[in-house]
Structure 1
């Protein structure tokens, strides 16, 4: 499917914002405090005592190498989107590192390691999540999860968590167990923020299944008072073998208490199942009826 100019511009803005958040998290929180974390920053910090290579230089070099691997395996479309990150991230990281060391007082970013771990992990997660929304990559250690996801379809946040946890474990050999355990906290925070950021703009709702003898009365109330559509599913009781209609309706979170009140008054014996729904598309959620 062809991407419009507007969609391409939005993708570029997401990638720009994502790399900016990622660079700030690494340059201002992770590197100044030697926090073991996931991603290339974690690899660079874990290997620095062994190879004595400046972490910023190692990050920039590995960014290019992993981009080339991702371009070969994930294809041209991935490469076209990710090349922007491959240029942006090292550039922004250098700029943010320069600001931290030369413009802003260097001691400003030396802080309690747990604070650096949490805030650095959060900013990194937001950054990676912004870029993942476009189907691209930051050009770093999120490329291996994307490759594995292509063949296994395991959720990206889960794969990022596993990859980053393995990266942090490298630090056990060069630092100590406490440093690695602190790093896992950063990985967990980052994974949570990736998931939340990727859901930005999603229309969360509640999916409700209702089994009631008064299903017609309930449907009329849902249509008239909540202005929501309903679907009838023909079901059969596993024990009774009786056929019963099941009402399926999707409502917003703020409408759920009103729906529960309606069900309780119309049929106190109704059987109700409520499920959290992360994404809803259609009339009343992603677009309104034209009058």
Structure 2
């Protein structure tokens, strides 16, 4: 048991280290050289540089440490333990990369730089979130708000980053902000993709039919899927009906659709995407999750 915990800790630390490195690469190679208002501590540093005339790496490092202390007070010991590693390595990554690659320019196209910055930041943050960690910095205010409101974390991240981008509009203008918002949007989408990586796409179906018993048996026998029977009351005729709920893998959906229409061509059914399913018949790779992560992957209440 002790060895298992050590291996899990090493794996989690590896996710945090790699995630922060990817974020730092995106900041160093795309955000800082092209002055992208991407949000986060890097976006704030870019926005404030013409006003304060301080090195952007210094502003990033000061904000990272300061927000870490704020997060430790508001979010407690567990946050401290999961964020201290990011707070230590991220400033080091930024400082070292800026020292050795400060003159390296991958692209002069701001829009292209914004897109790739969003991808790098999204991948990096997503990896850290998968182990219930934090990248620190401007990741902390969304976590504090999420703690008390339980709003989806990716939405909060985009809101705070969007506010940072709008702040930069006063210095760099509307066009620069529009380019920065591209990075913010992409990073939010990539975070969700990374969080659900490894989960098999599935469909949730709610089926209403007088031949519900036949449909139930067919799903059990022909598709080897379980069902849940939900008593329902028809809103028009006030008739008691039985609703069949089931979850099938994406590749089984077409077969199930044909099966239902064959048994009852007039059957009524609703289909929703199930972004994550846990239980018998749905086996995925190991995920590192918390309540925070589940608010991301369960974007529809169907699983």
Query: TM-score range with shorter-chain normalisation?
Result: over 0.9
Taking the aligned partners of 1:201 and 1:153, their CA distance within structure 2 comes to 25
* Count of residue correspondences: 282
Partner SS state of residue 250, structure 1? strand
Taking the aligned partners of 2:71 and 2:198, their CA distance within structure 1 comes to 28
Please tell me whether residue 175 in structure 1 is matched to residue 172 in structure 2. yes
Partner SS state of residue 237, structure 2? coil
Taking the aligned partners of 2:41 and 2:186, their CA distance within structure 1 comes to 16
Please tell me whether residue 68 in structure 1 is matched to residue 69 in structure 2. yes
Structure 2 equivalent of residue 211 of structure 1:
208
Structure 2 equivalent of residue 58 of structure 1:
59
Structure 2 equivalent of residue 116 of structure 1:
113
State which of 202, 226, 233 in structure 2 corresponds to 1:229.
226
Contact 1:24 1:123 survives alignment (8 Å) = yes
Tell me the alpha carbon deviations over residues 173-214 of structure 1, each in whole angstroms, 9 at most, x when there is no partner. Answer: 222111112111111111111222222233431111111122
TM-score (ref. length: structure 2): 0.89
Contact 2:29 2:104 survives alignment (8 Å) = no
Partner SS state of residue 195, structure 1? helix
Please tell me whether residue 93 in structure 1 is matched to residue 94 in structure 2. yes
Taking the aligned partners of 1:207 and 1:38, their CA distance within structure 2 comes to 36
Structure 2 equivalent of residue 14 of structure 1:
15
Tell me the alpha carbon deviations over residues 51-92 of structure 1, each in whole angstroms, 9 at most, x when there is no partner. Answer: 110001110111111111101110111101100000111111
Contact 2:20 2:135 survives alignment (8 Å) = yes
Q: 5+ unaligned residues in a row in structure 1: which ranges?
A: none
Structure 1 equivalent of residue 299 of structure 2:
none
1:25-174 matches, within 5 Å, as 25-101=26-102, 106-174=103-171
Taking the aligned partners of 1:265 and 1:138, their CA distance within structure 2 comes to 52
State which of 258, 262, 282 in structure 2 corresponds to 1:261.
258
Structure 1 equivalent of residue 236 of structure 2:
239
Taking the aligned partners of 1:249 and 1:175, their CA distance within structure 2 comes to 52
The alpha carbon displacement at 1:107 in A equals 4.7
Q: 1:108 to 1:43 in 2, by over 3 A?
A: closer
The alpha carbon displacement at 1:44 in A equals 0.3
Taking the aligned partners of 1:6 and 1:223, their CA distance within structure 2 comes to 39
Query: What stretches of structure 1 move > 6 A for 4+ residues in a row?
Result: none
Taking the aligned partners of 1:170 and 1:74, their CA distance within structure 2 comes to 26
Contact 2:122 2:187 survives alignment (8 Å) = yes
Q: 5+ unaligned residues in a row in structure 2: which ranges?
A: 285-303
The alpha carbon displacement at 1:232 in A equals 1.2
- Compare 3-12 and 134-143 and name the one that shifted more: 3-12
- Compare 147-156 and 171-180 and name the one that shifted more: 171-180
Taking the aligned partners of 1:229 and 1:47, their CA distance within structure 2 comes to 57
Partner SS state of residue 235, structure 1? strand
Taking the aligned partners of 2:133 and 2:79, their CA distance within structure 1 comes to 6
Contact 2:33 2:105 survives alignment (8 Å) = no
Please tell me whether residue 202 in structure 1 is matched to residue 211 in structure 2. no
Contact 1:78 1:135 survives alignment (8 Å) = no
Taking the aligned partners of 1:5 and 1:202, their CA distance within structure 2 comes to 25
Tell me the alpha carbon deviations over residues 229-282 of structure 1, each in whole angstroms, 9 at most, x when there is no partner. Answer: 111111121121221111111000110000001111111011111111111110
